Structure 1
Amino acid sequence: MPSITPQQKIYFLSDFHLGAPDHEQSLVREKKVVAFLDSIKDSAAMIFIVGDIFDFWYEYKQVVPKGYVRLLGKLAELTDRGIQIHCFVGNHDMWMRGYFEKELNIPVYHHPKVFEWNGKRFYIGHGDGLGPGDHGYKFLKKIFRNPLCQWLFGILHPSWGIGLANYFSRKSREKTGMSDQHFLGEENEWLIVYCKEMLEKEHFDFLIFGHRHYPIDFKLNDNSRYINLGDWIRNFTYASFDGTDMQLHQWQS
């Protein structure tokens, strides 16, 4: 991996959930994300979007969900400028199948991935289905990622398919409730438990996830930190790496 110069930063953000709960509120968030991306275009060496860009996304053979043109246009502008953007799928937009790669020149990752810059090792992923517990979702995730199940969903008319997906998205948010508004404690934060298990196998300086919707910078040991990026629904938080250290920030538009 190339080194990061003192004038550059790598930026990380996640969980926009564009489309929810309605068009009007989603549009306000979309404009905030676009404004943020525009503000970092001169300093960004790379940008990582770590899942759940959309509250629902399914790429049919010739169709993608309508809307989000401001964000998609800004991403295209940035990659055309030569800025590398990397995208991870989340549990709400896991059905990405080539549109971002072909139209926006953005690689899309479906599993956590290891990166290294300036001698620092990063483990990056959305975070869904990792760690102990949540067995019901882990079972559903296997179904959702099954190629046959995806094909069966794809033969539904988009009006039916998107309507069904939006229903399950609402149910998912209702199940989460208020748990994304406070720290649950070291033993109850499943991603902290997962990070500790990962560090028993190999060293990482920073383990970075989204999904949790609550910004967290947690010291796992003397040399490793777990960072959760929060969201762009309530917190409007992101992280940056300056070549030496990681920091969490809140976007003030």
Structure 2
Amino acid sequence: MNISLKPGQKVFFASDFHLGAPDPQSSKKREEKIIRWLNSIEKEAAALFLVGDVFDFWFEYDKVIPKGFIRFMGKIADLRDKGIPIIFFTGNHDLWMKDYFTQELDVPVYGNPIQIKINDKKFLVGHGDGLGPGDKKYKVLKKVFTNEACQWFFKWLHPDIGIRIAQKWSGSSRITNMQKNEDQFKGEDEWLWQYCKQVENQMHHDFYIFGHRHLPLELPVGERGKYYNLGEWVSQYTYGEFDGEEMSIKSYKF
């Protein structure tokens, strides 16, 4: 994927909106902030990358999608109608996405990191779950969650039942992670940072862009690369911005 920026254009990256959590009222307020941010960037945006966990839970039945988020999806449709490319990545909370966004909103959906080139800079972009060393328990769970047979059985639950079960699981998982302090910086043991270094040893990228960790980070990778984590929108409201030369992490002031 190649993107060429015109003067004044920028590429934006955001992740971990967790729309739907922890309750409908809080989620709706966050959704309104996200839409205000999208309104503020649309004149400069050459492309927008939504890098996973946009929804705290998402499952596409053959004829049903989760209730809510209509203003957010309406804004995504508006940006696409204005010709702004949008690239969507699944995260560990919304990995059960299929073709709804692609067919209805003209937004491609990726489940794994992809390489892109913006002007003359090389990027590797993805959500980040299950990458790098460690986190073996989640890697096993991800194999279960992405198993076609498991998804087939789940979809035969009535949506009112299936979505309620999944939302409860999603909420308890998030609380468990907070109790384990998994959103604290781990220094050299940051497994996504280690993953970037492993990739850099095989192929150079100027920028590695990931979400998932809920930590706004800018860390060196080798002699020329940098790893950026986009943070989250539950409390920090951080995003990535590339102006054609420099990449930076910024906070939305609403």
Normalising by structure 2, report the TM-score. 0.97
Identity %: 49
Q: In the aligned structure 2, how far is the partner of 1:69 from the partner of 1:27?
A: 10
SS at match of 2:65: coil
SS at match of 1:199: helix
Q: In the aligned structure 2, how far is the partner of 1:126 from the partner of 1:234?
A: 19
SS at match of 1:231: coil
Partner residue of 2:242? 241
Partner residue of 2:167? 166
SS at match of 2:253: coil
SS at match of 2:107: coil
Misfit runs of 4+, over 3 Å: none
The answer to whether the Cα contact below 8 Å between 1:115 and 1:122 also exists between their aligned partners in 2 is yes
RMSD of aligned Cα (Å): 1.0
The answer to whether the Cα contact below 8 Å between 1:214 and 1:235 also exists between their aligned partners in 2 is no
Match of 1:184 among 183, 186, 191: 186
Note the alpha carbon deviations across 1:16-57, whole angstroms, 9 max, x for none.
111111000001110011100011111000000000111100
Q: In the aligned structure 2, how far is the partner of 1:66 from the partner of 1:164?
A: 15
Deviation, structure 1 residue 180: 5.3
Deviation, structure 1 residue 92: 0.4
Total equivalences in the alignment: 252
Deviation, structure 1 residue 181: 4.9
Alignment of 1:65-84 (within 5 A): 65-84=66-85
Partner residue of 2:127? 126
Q: In the aligned structure 2, how far is the partner of 1:188 from the partner of 1:172?
A: 22
Alignment of 1:87-102 (within 5 A): 87-102=88-103
Q: In the aligned structure 2, how far is the partner of 1:174 from the partner of 1:77?
A: 34
Q: In the aligned structure 2, how far is the partner of 1:33 from the partner of 1:237?
A: 11
Partner residue of 2:139? 138
The answer to whether the Cα contact below 8 Å between 1:129 and 1:138 also exists between their aligned partners in 2 is yes
- Structure 1 residue identity aligned to 2:184: H
Q: In the aligned structure 2, how far is the partner of 1:151 from the partner of 1:242?
A: 43
The answer to whether the Cα contact below 8 Å between 2:230 and 2:239 also exists between their aligned partners in 1 is yes
Deviation, structure 1 residue 6: 2.5
Partner residue of 2:226? 225
For structure 2, list consecutive stretches of 5 or more residues without a partner in the other structure: none
The answer to whether the Cα contact below 8 Å between 1:15 and 1:50 also exists between their aligned partners in 2 is yes
The answer to whether the Cα contact below 8 Å between 1:6 and 1:242 also exists between their aligned partners in 2 is no
> Does 2:111 align with 1:110?
yes
Deviation, structure 1 residue 219: 1.4
SS at match of 1:123: strand
